[in-house]
Amino acid sequence: MKLTGAEIIWECLIREGVDVVFGYPGGAILPTYDAMTKYPQIHHVLTRHEQGATHMADGYARASGKVGVAIATSGPGATNMVTGIATAMMDSSPIVCITGQVGSRALGTDAFQETDVTGVTLPVTKHNYLVTKTADIARVIREAFYIAKSGRPGPVLVDITKDAQQLTAEFDWEAAAPKLPGYRPNLRALPTEYERALELINSAKRPVILAGQGIKLSGATAQVLELADTARIPIAVTLLGLGVVPASSPFNLGMMGMHGEAWVNQAIQQADLLIALGMRFDDRVTGNLKTYAPHAKKIHVEIDPSEVNKNVHVDVPLIGDLREVLEELLPKVRTSDRGEWWAKIAEMKGDSAVRDIQALPDNGHLYAAHVINDLWRATKDRDTIVVTDVGQHQMWEAQYYRHEKPRSLITSGGLGTMGFALPAAIGAKFACPEKDVWVVVGDGGFQMTSCELATAEQEGIKVNVAIINNAFLGMVRQWQEFFYEKRYAATPMTGPDFVKLAEAYRLNGLRCDKRAEVNSTVKAVLADKRTTVVDFVVEQEDAVFPMVPAGADLDAMIRRPKREILAESGADKEWQMPNGESAAVSELTLTGGPSKAASVPAAKRKPAPSLKKKSAETSKKSSRPVVAKATKAGKRR
């Protein structure tokens, strides 16, 4: 049948299984928007910014495992999408972005709202297209979806000229099937490489599995747990890998890297074998490459050959789909005890436990870690997706919210995009309307895309927004505190009254500045049917511990001071080990934990930055006028 190019776009989207698209109209994409009225089976979400549209498509893709779709016009509409496209590229998220372009005869003339968006996005897309002929639209869109979701997923941009949308052509879905002879996303490892990998796994004394989000993308959680159980191998998890194995699993050590748990990084540095599964040895994971895991052989299972040996030289690469590779390996992996290795790890855990801020009793101050931990406790029995922004709150969420399922955490890991959380959460809610969706965001990042509250209100959806408000660009401030002698240049930040801002969008707004009220506040949010914004007013100069300074050795961590107050509070915990044994913190401290800290005279201990007091006046005001005055006067707070 003969259709316009605009109609062909919608016909293709329907056949690709698309039920929602996120976009913002404009002149060059107007034929496509006009044709949209004929296709009510696809819901269009009008965003407030094209960047928001790409983040929503990204959040939809990460929550559902399907391809997300964003639409925008030419010129500024298309360039506004670049941040969202780059975010999806860095985190291997499958989205297809469709942009309108000026008419084909006007290309290259600097016509109104013309930008070479395929040139602009070339480095941040898996592939992109400029379509000038109507007859090519169906084939290109089919290829775009195939490329986006096959192999290592990623974003694809399709730029279509206005005349190509307006003219007609024969639409034949079957004839437009992808034919990409040069694209080989389904590579397989060689038998000799399997043999070498098995030899290393079966002979290792101190192995560690490094679990990345490739496990989620491949659906290989069960196979990873079987490998860990059979061979008694501990699992360290990347930021994007949180949830790929349950936090409650006795094999799950926790997050690795710059703000990972100290014992996890220590275990990696002492390992004699690293089994990297669907992760890419990011610099935030490895620290100083010259000293990274110096005693370890390395196996890297990866679907993208370009990632192998890019940052870390590996001894055995296994290229291919992660689940298929593990299913090939598992029958030949020998059972093992590795009790000595687990005992060593338990010893390292004991040392870290006495530094946990959760051991602090309520001293009248609200710490961000407390908010995250209490949020987890209040929502752990519900089916919840948490979407974070980027900064200190992101790391606290990773440390104190215990994710049990894949796709329960959505965050910008690679690009570190502030402003990601709220629009990505809206996309996640469209993907999973039956789930609770929480946004955990700093006051800085929230102000970058808070306009999307209007999108949530217009669509009548409910996302729960927890602003971790410390009146700072918190992570930058932390770096200034640690490495720039507390010169807080351009990091103190005032904001609007977030409660009134929510109300201005006809949404619900709450404020909480006491630890004892976090739980009741979360319950009030869950009881309200509207999108609710909570302004959690937290300590201003708290820091994320541990921290590996950029470029430092992985185990050269800045750590939270040990606290004898743990013993005073009567708090105790038990660490469950895979061999069924358990050890209480009080027992583990015999290895050198809090007993040593308690023996150091109080006067000689360095106070934790998080314990600095602020005035009662400041703590009760959401807009932090004291900060504003100090900034204007050129003074450090």
Q: What's the pLDDT band for 353 if we cut at 50, 70, 90? A: low
- CA–CA dist 120, 101 (Å, integer): 13
Mean pLDDT of 320-330: 98
519: helix, coil or strand? helix
* Tokens 């079966």, residue located: 202
**How confident is the model at residue 597, as a pLDDT?**
27
**How confident is the model at residue 606, as a pLDDT?**
34
Mean pLDDT of 85-92: 98
Mean pLDDT of 580-590: 36
Longest C-alpha distance within the chain, in Å?
85
Mean pLDDT of 83-87: 98
* Tokens 């506004």, residue located: 80
The more confidently predicted of residues 71 and 355 is: 71
Contact 463, 425 (CB under 8 A): yes
For the segment 586-630, what is each residue's pLDDT rounded down to a tens digit?
A: 332 222 222 222 222 333 323 333 323 333 333 333 333 223 233
The more confidently predicted of residues 276 and 567 is: 276
Indicate if 113 belongs to the active site. yes
Indicate if 258 belongs to the active site. no
Contact 464, 534 (CB under 8 A): yes
Helix (H) or strand (E) holding 388: strand 384-388
Choosing from 66, 126, 149, 162, the catalytic residue is 162
CA 617 to chain centroid: 35
Indicate if 112 belongs to the active site. yes
Which residues, listed in sequence order, are joined to residue 472 by a DSSP beta bridge?
492
Mean pLDDT of 249-267: 95
Q: What's the pLDDT band for 352 if we cut at 50, 70, 90? A: low
Mean pLDDT of 28-36: 98
Contact 82, 55 (CB under 8 A): no
Q: What's the pLDDT band for 563 if we cut at 50, 70, 90? A: low
- CA–CA dist 38, 306 (Å, integer): 43
- Please check the confidence at residue 246 and state whether its pLDDT lies above 70: yes
Q: Helix, strand, coil proportions of the chain in percent (round to 5)?
A: 45, 15, 40
The angle formed by the CA atoms of residues 547, 511 and 635, to the nearest 5 degrees, is: 55
Mean pLDDT of 26-39: 98
Percentage of residues in the chain with pLDDT exceeding 90? 83
Mean pLDDT of 38-46: 98
Choosing from 7, 11, 50, 541, the catalytic residue is 50
Q: What's the pLDDT band for 362 if we cut at 50, 70, 90? A: confident
Mean pLDDT of 497-518: 97
Choosing from 89, 348, 395, 475, the catalytic residue is 475
Mean predicted lDDT score pLDDT of the chain: 89
Lowest mean pLDDT among 107-111, 406-410, 451-455, 615-619: 615-619
- Please check the confidence at residue 83 and state whether its pLDDT lies above 60: yes
**How confident is the model at residue 351, as a pLDDT?**
64
Helix (H) or strand (E) holding 265: helix 262-270
The more confidently predicted of residues 359 and 379 is: 379
Mean pLDDT of 414-433: 98
For the segment 458-495, what is each residue's pLDDT rounded down to a tens digit?
A: 999 999 999 999 999 999 999 999 999 999 999 999 99
For the segment 167-200, what is each residue's pLDDT rounded down to a tens digit?
A: 999 999 999 999 999 999 989 999 999 999 999 9
- What tokens does 615 get? 């005035």
- CA–CA dist 547, 558 (Å, integer): 5
Indicate if 162 belongs to the active site. yes
Which residues, listed in sequence order, are joined to residue 580 by a DSSP beta bridge?
none
For the segment 434-446, what is each residue's pLDDT rounded down to a tens digit?
A: 999 999 999 999 9
